[in-house]
Amino acid sequence: MTFDLSSWNVPLALGAASPDLVASALLILVLWIARTILVKLIRMRTSLPPHVLRRWIATSRNVLLFLLLLGLVLIWAPQLRTFALSLAAVAVALVVATKEMILCVSGSLMRSSTRAFTVGDWIEVYGVRGEVVDHTLLATTIQEFQPSSFHYTGRTAVLPNSVFFTSPIRNLSVLRDYTFHSFAVTAEPDVDLLDRDAEIATIVDRHYGAHREEAARVNARIERRSGVDILEPDSRIRFSTTDLGKQRVTVSLFCPTRQADVLEDAITREIMTLIRFAEKQGSSADRS
């Protein structure tokens, strides 16, 4: 028994689409090889800081992903154009269904166009403060800082890029090495802190004096880079009262970011010791 294969009407759709499939597979293979080589070359640059390496790796990945999407669109453009008009209603439904995804992609484009931040920058957005460790078309990954400091918590926050349209982005990288740090010490109303002004200034100068010259240079460099005048790097001491009528001493420093907590602790301890001594003197005077 024989079969006449020439009489069969074999669909040729797969054969017509095979060149596009081959081209797509080759494009994916070439870009994958290129990404692997780029990542290896970047990681070989051991002299660069880790945050710069992460920035280059993320940038190369995003560029290659964009080239992949662009290449696939160009390869399949004739087939896509055939169905363009008939899929208009489907496109509208997809836009409604993928609104959040579109906002995320738009947020990524907004970030890129405004250069709001990049990998390695310190930012504050949507109530989250930390260092940007990765960003894609849809989300940004942040290594969180502890409240009111620049110490890592160990937690990682992944924010959708759509939040960039609803929350301001504060880039803190200018103060990556040096920052304006303020803290306060409170005393009872019966302690005369104004008479201790010179002693408090001596305490602050003893701990902050070693950083004063470097702080002045960093302050001037930040002003030149940003083009705006910022606060002078001199230490400042302010006296005020709280809502309960207690006295408050506020110390403001332009100091190394990593040393801010150390300076605060050392200065606070000495000022508290001074206040305790003043309280004892007051108690002795009352008894006499």
Helix 260-287 and helix 197-208, axial crossing angle in degrees, nearest 10: 160
Domain span at 259? 177-283
Answer with the one of 125, 158, 173 that is the final residue of a domain: 173
Query: For tokens 């290594």, what's the residue?
Result: 143
pLDDT at 152: 87
In a domain, 7, yes or no: no
Q: Which residues contact 136 (CB under 8 A, 6 or more apart)?
A: 62, 108
pLDDT in tens, the chain (288 residues): 444 444 444 444 445 557 888 889 999 999 999 999 988 888 888 788 888 888 888 888 899 999 999 998 888 887 777 767 666 777 777 777 888 888 999 999 998 888 889 898 999 998 899 999 999 989 999 999 988 777 788 899 999 999 999 899 988 887 778 888 899 999 888 887 888 889 999 999 999 988 888 988 888 888 887 777 778 888 899 999 988 888 899 999 999 888 888 999 999 999 999 988 887 776 665 555
- Work out how many domains the chain is built from and give that number: 2
Q: Are residues 145 and 35 in the same domain?
A: yes
Given a contact cutoff of 8 angstroms between Cβ atoms, the answer to whether 149 and 260 are in contact is: yes
Given a contact cutoff of 8 angstroms between Cβ atoms, the answer to whether 279 and 191 are in contact is: yes
In a domain, 3, yes or no: no
CATH number at residue 251: 3.30.70
Answer with the one of 153, 173, 193 that is the final residue of a domain: 173
pLDDT at 194: 82
Given a contact cutoff of 8 angstroms between Cβ atoms, the answer to whether 135 and 125 are in contact is: no
Q: Where are the alpha helices (DSSP H) in the chain?
A: 13-43, 50-75, 77-82, 88-97, 99-114, 197-208, 212-226, 260-287
**Dist. CA 141–CA 134, nearest whole Å:** 5
Q: Which residues contact 216 (CB under 8 A, 6 or more apart)?
A: 233
213-237 as b/e: b if 16+ CB within 10 A: eebeebbeebeeeeeeeeeebebee
Given a contact cutoff of 8 angstroms between Cβ atoms, the answer to whether 254 and 180 are in contact is: yes
In a domain, 13, yes or no: no
pLDDT at 3: 42
Predicted structure pTM score? 0.56
DSSP string, 57-120: HHHHHHHHHHHHHHHHHHHTHHHHHHTTTTTHHHHHHHHHHTHHHHHHHHHHHHHHHHT---TT
pLDDT at 7: 45
In a domain, 203, yes or no: yes
Given a contact cutoff of 8 angstroms between Cβ atoms, the answer to whether 123 and 170 are in contact is: yes
| Residue 5 burial (C-beta neighbours within 10 Å; 0-12, 13-18, 19+) | exposed
Q: Are residues 39 and 96 in the same domain?
A: yes
In a domain, 151, yes or no: yes
Q: Are residues 193 and 205 in the same domain?
A: yes
Answer with the one of 173, 198, 220 that is the final residue of a domain: 173
Q: Which residues contact 211 (CB under 8 A, 6 or more apart)?
A: 255, 256, 259
pLDDT at 17: 54
Q: Are residues 265 and 145 in the same domain?
A: no
Q: Are residues 264 and 155 in the same domain?
A: no
pLDDT at 263: 93
Query: For tokens 């002004």, what's the residue?
Result: 197
Q: Are residues 153 and 141 in the same domain?
A: yes
pLDDT at 9: 46
pLDDT at 53: 85
Given a contact cutoff of 8 angstroms between Cβ atoms, the answer to whether 199 and 274 are in contact is: yes
Q: Are residues 158 and 100 in the same domain?
A: yes
